Amino acid sequence: MGAPSVAVKSGDTLEGRYKIIKTVGEGGMGTVYLAEHMLIKRKVAIKILRPELAADAAVVERFMNEARAAGAIGHPHIVESTDMGFTRDEVPFIVFEYLEGTLLTDEIYRVRGMPPRRALRIATQIASALHAAHSAGIIHRDLKSDNVFLTDKEDASDHVKVLDFGISRFLEAEAGEDSSSRHLVMGTPEFMAPEQILTPEKVDKRADIYALGVVLYEMLTARRPFDFDEHKLTAERRLTETDRLLHKIVTEPVPLINRFDLPPGLEELIKDKLLAKDPDQRFDSMKDVQGAFEAFFSVARRDSEPIPLSSTSTSAEMAATLATPPPSMAPKKKSGLGWLLAALLVGGTGAALLVVEPKPSDATVASNDAARKTLEEAAAKLAALLDTQTQASRMRAEGIGSLPMLRAAIETDAATLKDMVKDRDVLFKAEPNEVLEIFQVRDGNPSTMLRIPEDAPAIKPLGEAATRIETDGTRVHLIVGTPVVNQKNVNEGVIALSVPVDLTSVKTLIAPHTNAAALVGLDKPIVLAGTAVPASPVSFPIKTAATTKIDGLSLAAAVDSPAAVAAKAASPTFAYARFACWGLAGLLLVMFAVSRARKS
């Protein structure tokens, strides 16, 4: 006899303690009910496993993990599990604290993206909860905005509760864990880290860091970095579109956030330290993530606060004091004192000339310093862009090179390879200006077997795992290579992938700060601002990571040095007059000394 389709209904009691009031939600594994503890009259939420799943021991274990995780951690930002048990039909249930509020997902799309301060405040609480989970040896593995609940606590809004540790991994139990279960891909596709897709058995706490990056990205943009519209998918297309989504997560760079109100550096942190394809490039711990969020929240808060009124009052008092004329001083009449007064007057005139001499204004100096800092930021941004794009392109090339059909075809001939990849989207779907070229290697000599698109310019052969950057004077292309090896681990070919480097964000950043800038160190310089390469530029090195293997690039820009700024404002006429006054003052002081000597 099969399990009943409905575990409980309104009015039923569980183990004589909990009275079911109503259904509040349903999920893939179970149904959540609002219930009341019959003795203490406290509202609780009860999650009951779907009856048809209760016979599956693995599903029951995963369901009970949720109660174990919440009970083991005991953190204010993780939903509290207070009890567990079984229905009359031996279906397990978990009792949670009852929360009133809203899911983070619903709030994100209600407000159509959150202000940075609010998003960072929520993300910091999530990081705190997951740091506690990781410290307890628990990895969530299914963090997403649907598993974050916002409630009010002690009149404070946006108090976070992290939910659903149902597929969490308990690290202390890994040694006895069924190895086949560890190889299962688990999680929600849009929030899965690349290693969850490629090597699920190697997933660690850095997968939660990636998922938190997706949640923060979604809070700021009201979209996910990689997504599909699930409501428009038919059952036939769901599997295909999911595969495409997972392919994007593994191979494609994270789209720009494009918000101008972000604290400087936050977008780079999200893309490079949270959503990095390689887990080794992410933060080492959720504690580090929490600290970074708190630092950015502090910056955002200061930038948005008005100047205190006390500062304005102090400035006004100082201005009033300076505007009050000093009391008059009636000199005592002494013999020879006129020489001293004349010397002071003339010397003071020289000093006045020093004050009024044209100098670079504070605004000019600040503008020049800001330009240099911005250009340094632009060079760092370009280096990060090249690092990220190199890493993503290399992963795409390696993914293509690992296909068994490609390894088999590359050992034969070009015609066989072309026949096997007639459906090109299976092997490679070229984006605008991208080129894939496959070389067969015989006796160390590469020869082209296939180029996609066929009419694209040829890629010059490059070594295994090599990186090269090229330009035609207008566009910049990054070219990466990866070897193709046969079953005997012998190199049979090379995959070369050429992708365009979008410099728009760098150009936009530097345009207001210089009228001439260029990327140099290539065969031809690339003009980034103005119409030509600056004649006497200041150089800002582009320091890429060692794994990128691109050296010798720099940003050359027309920016005045501090000495040049001062020289432009200097006036020799004022200098001559100033020295003449001081020379005359010195002569008058000599006359004063002589007169005093005669008097004595």
Among 32, 65, 66, 34, CA closest to 50:
32
Give CA separation, 500 vs 300, 384, 385, 467, 472, in Å.
Answer: 34, 15, 12, 13, 12
CA 288-292-295 angle, 5° bins: 140
| DSSP 8-class letter at 78 | B
288 is catalytic: no
How far apart, in whole angstroms, are the C-alpha atoms of residue 3 and residue 31? 15
Cβ atoms of residues 388 and 253 within 8 Å? yes
Cβ atoms of residues 114 and 123 within 8 Å? no
How far apart, in whole angstroms, are the C-alpha atoms of residue 394 and residue 483? 11
CA 465-466-469 angle, 5° bins: 145
CA 192 to chain centre: 16
Instruction: Give Dmax (Cα) for the chain.
Output: 131
3-state secondary structure 107-128: HHHHHCCCCHHHHHHHHHHHHH
525 exposed, middle or buried (CB, 10 Å; 0-12, 13-18, 19+)?
middle
Residues found in the chain? 600
The count of other CB atoms within 10 Å of the CB of residue 318 is 10
Phi (first) and psi of residue 493, to 5 degrees: -170, 180
* SS3 of the chain: helix, strand, coil, percent, to 5: 45, 20, 35
158: enclosing H helix or E strand: strand 156-162
Catalytic residue among 12, 142, 155, 280: 142
Catalytic residues: 142
